Amino acid sequence: MPANTPEGPAAPAQEDPSRRPDIPYQRVLEGQPALVTGANSGIGKAIAIGLAKAGADVVVNYVTDPGAADDVAHAVEAAGGRAMTFQADVSREDQVAAMFTAARAQFGTLHIVVSNAGLQRDAPFEQMTLDQWNTVIGVNLTGQFLCLREAVREFNRRGPDKVVSAATGKIICMSSVHQQIPWAGHANYAASKGGIDMLMRSLAQEVAPRLIRVNAIAPGAIRTPINTSAWDTPAAYADLMKLVPYKRIGEPDDIARAAAWLASDAADYVTGATLFVDGGMTLYPGFATGG
Ligand code: NAD
């Protein structure tokens, strides 16, 4: 048991699984095909499965590891949804277009697009190569542009379907707390997520009259392969907790539940918003004791 400090309990060195409630999903997305990019790992995988638990059919996008994508597709089916997998590099215009064509052929249309695929190529700024810069911007920002553009084109083509949803289409961009928190050694990643904020809000403004809702989720520290070194030892976990006022790491399913809500009619009046799901990481925890 860590010793208490004047500010409250010290950062826990280990997780306490009982901290996370297990609430059943409501089936509020019945009849709404969804596409999730980067859906064979981490947050995207949890979102694909979470949307299926909420009643959606799911296109599971992946770029490497088709076996992992198949596993997610099976989990989608086990949750009662139809599933298809599709290999596409989201930074490639032709591959993104082919993916949306295949999704339409399989499911007729899409109602929900979750633009989640992302990566990091970290380096001290003066050592960052143009390739590291371009790779991160290409996937995290241009990749979302390409997917969002295809989503809007498909929603325009289909038009409203009020039986299924009040909105003609729902887009969710995966951002990060680093759209707000500067991140030394990760300038390319932070720039890509800062770009997502204005991409998301500008598009939300543009397509709101067509009843297309565009929002973002900004996760804090979530337990996925992208950041294993930040949580996989007790020392790293305790260090991470100094940045998390709520004193537990986020699980991918924490993000999936936010995505299911944002995609549902329960969030019908929400557009152009970024939902921070971060256990308070953006609350400047270093100032909790008065600065
Ligand atoms: P992850 O590495 O487990 O998953 C990333 C996924 O994106 C993988 O499936 C990967 O194959 C896919 N991907 C990468 N490049 C791609 C490409 N060119 N085309 C298609 N797919 C591609 O990491 P994650 O933590 O699940 O990250 C998912 C998203 O969440 C990312 O956008 C990331 O920036 C964001 N995020 C994660 C955290 C966190 O703490 N884990 C925090 C904030 C934001």
Domains, the chain: 26-278 (3.40.50.720)
Residue 223 Cα: closest atom of ligand 1 = 41
The CA 43 to ligand 1 mean position distance, Å, reads: 7
Question: pLDDT tier at 136 (50, 70, 90 boundaries)?
Answer: very high
Instruction: Label residue 164 by pLDDT band (50, 70, 90).
Output: very high
Q: Which of 95, 132, 224, 240 to mutate to test the pocket of ligand 1 (most atoms within 8 A of CB)?
A: 224
Nearest CA to ligand 1 atom 12: 38
Model pTM score: 0.96
Which of 6-10, 99-103, 180-184 is predicted least confidently?
6-10
Q: Where are the alpha helices (DSSP H) in the chain?
A: 42-53, 66-78, 93-107, 130-136, 143-158, 187-207, 234-241, 252-263
Please compute the mean of the pLDDT values over residues 88-94 and round it to a whole number: 99
pLDDT for res 5 = 43
Nearest to 116 by CA among 208, 28, 226, 11: 226
Residue 44: is its pLDDT beyond 70?
A: yes
Q: Which residues pair with 61 in a beta bridge?
A: 86
- Asked if 96 contacts 16 with a C-beta cutoff of 8 angstroms, the reply is no
How high is the pLDDT of residue 20?
80
For ligand 1, say whether the CB of 174 is within 6 Å of any of its atoms: yes
- Does the beta carbon of 279 lie inside 6 Å of ligand 1? no
Q: What is the pLDDT of residues 280-291, one digit of tens each?
A: 999 999 889 886
Higher pLDDT, 286 or 52: 52
pLDDT, position 8? 53
* Residue 237 falls in the annotated catalytic set: no
43 lines ligand 1 (CB under 6 A): yes
Mean pLDDT for 158-185 is 98
pLDDT exceeds 70 at position 71: yes
Burial of 126 (C-beta count, 10 Å sphere; 0-12/13-18/19+): exposed
What is the pLDDT at residue 205?
Answer: 98
Q: How big is the CA angle at 20 (ends 14 and 24), to the nearest 5 degrees?
A: 150
Q: What is the pLDDT, as a whole number, of residue 13?
A: 67
Q: What is the DSSP string of 146-161?
A: HHHHHHHHHHHHH---
Mean confidence (pLDDT) of the chain: 95
Q: Name 83's bridge partners.
A: 58
Instruction: Verify whether ligand 1 is closer than 6 Å to residue 116 (CB atom).
Output: yes
For the stretch 75-84, pLDDT in tens is 999 999 999 9
Torsions phi, psi for 122 (to 5 deg): -85, 145
- Joined together, the tokens standing for residue 156 give 């325009």
Q: Check pocket membership of 42 for ligand 1, CB cut-off 6 A.
A: yes
